Amino acid sequence: MYDRLLVPTDGSDGTEAVVQQAITIATRCGATIDALAVVDETFPAAAEYDVVVEGLEAEAETALGAVTDACERAGVDAEPHLRRGVPHEEIVAAADAYGSDLIVMGTHGRTGFDRVRHLGSVTERVVRQSPVPVLSTPLSTPDEARG
């Protein structure tokens, strides 16, 4: 059913649940996971731009390492990818470039006013623009799990 899964990550708390969902699907389908981190270049230019970008790239590499390590422990093939640009645009472009059959990504699951305030989130934009199905998995943190 699926041969290549795209798993965008920024290393947020709760990402482990998304990665485990992707690993479960990949295991059942014999699929490869393309782990993707996007260095967001939409922030305003600053005097220390290079320092900021280097920090973001280091965070992205750490996030990618967490995904590929989890895949390795589960026996799933994974390839890390680092891109720069507008996150939702790069995710959609990556799905096309890597031949993805499914995008598995996290969502905060906001409702009500909080959802309206965050309308246009990366996940929501990807869902609207993706050429392939998107599975949005709730991000859960220990605080959210307790209620």
Strands 32-40 and 4-8: parallel
Nearest to 39 by CA among 64, 56, 63: 56
How large is the average pLDDT for residues 87-110?
91
What is the Cα–Cα distance from 26 to 15, expressed in whole angstroms? 16
**Residue 95: pLDDT above 60?**
yes
22-66 pLDDT, tens digit each: 999 999 999 999 999 999 877 666 566 677 788 889 999 999 999
Question: pLDDT tier at 117 (50, 70, 90 boundaries)?
Answer: very low
pLDDT value for 147: 46
104 secondary structure, DSSP code: E
pLDDT at position 43 is: 66
Alpha-carbon distance of 71 to 122, in angstroms, equals 24
Q: Which CATH number fits domain 4-140: 1.10.3470.10, 3.40.50.620, 3.40.50.300, 2.60.40.1180?
A: 3.40.50.620
Confidence of residue 129 (pLDDT cuts 50, 70, 90): very high
Within 8 A by CB and 6+ apart from 53, the residues are 39, 41, 84
What letter represents residue 72's amino acid?
E
Q: What is the model's pTM?
A: 0.86
Domain boundaries, the chain: 4-140
